[in-house]
Amino acid sequence: MKTLPKLFENNRAWAASVIAEDPDFFPNLSQQQNPEYLWIGCSDSRVPANQVVGLAPGEVFVHRNIANVVTHTDINCLSVLEYAVNVLQVKHVIVCGHYGCGGVMAALQDHHLGLIDNWLCHVRDVRRNHEKQLVAVEDETERTNRLCELNVIEQVRNVCATTIVQGCWEKGNPLAVHGWIYGIEDGLLRDLDVTITEQVDVAEAYRIATRK
């Protein structure tokens, strides 16, 4: 258990297959990264950012946490966002949730799980904001999935409200913030139609996306 030989074996095979296709791949990538996208997703092992959108190393900057939460006091998330927007100058921020998210499910239930309850308070806030709509959904799976979607939409709004994104738009730099959701059962992404490209879009996009 002190070493994981299988993973190193996998790694050597992977590196060799990449080099076989493009001998300059790693030397080129070592010089710079130039991703166009920042992915903010859930830590869930079934939603790996690069694979889901078919992008190679170097093409997507990634931040993941439980239930893809963006909160204005999270120095980790804000640092990633600032670096992506101001230094790497990504053109798209994608908040991607997924159906059947365990974090969202826990936020819908009132069980105490421990430390994570504090983190999931952010998702419980989303639940409270849309309580009326959620209680009207009778099927439990459907209710969870709607909260998964609403959580993405709320986090898109949080991304847009940061000084980082606001500052980017004030300078006239192009930046689109997207809200997507991934189906673990079929491997497909859905666009929640909440893409925001400038400050004036925020309230309207939120209103349309959250109504039922």
> Which are the catalytic amino acids?
42, 44, 46, 98, 101
- Give min distance, CB of 200 to Co ion, in A: 31
Are the C-beta atoms of residues 183 and 99 closer than 8 Å to each other? yes
Q: Which residues contact 50 (CB under 8 A, 6 or more apart)?
A: 56, 57, 59, 60, 62
Q: Beta strands 176-183 and 60-65: pairing type?
A: unpaired
Residue 58 or 100 with smaller CB distance to Co ion: 100
- Give min distance, CB of 113 to Co ion, in A: 14
Alpha helices (H) along the chain: 5-21, 25-31, 49-52, 75-82, 102-108, 116-129, 131-135, 140-161, 163-170, 202-210
Contacting residues toward Co ion, per CB under 5 A: 42, 44, 101
Residue 101 or 134 with smaller CB distance to Co ion: 101
Residue 94, Cβ neighbours under 10 Å: how many?
25
Distance CA 155, CA 65 (A): 12
Residue 84 or 105 with smaller CB distance to Co ion: 105
Residue 179, Cβ neighbours under 10 Å: how many?
29
- Give min distance, CB of 71 to Co ion, in A: 16
Are the C-beta atoms of residues 83 and 162 closer than 8 Å to each other? no
Residue 37 or 99 with smaller CB distance to Co ion: 99
Are the C-beta atoms of residues 43 and 65 closer than 8 Å to each other? yes
- Give min distance, CB of 99 to Co ion, in A: 9
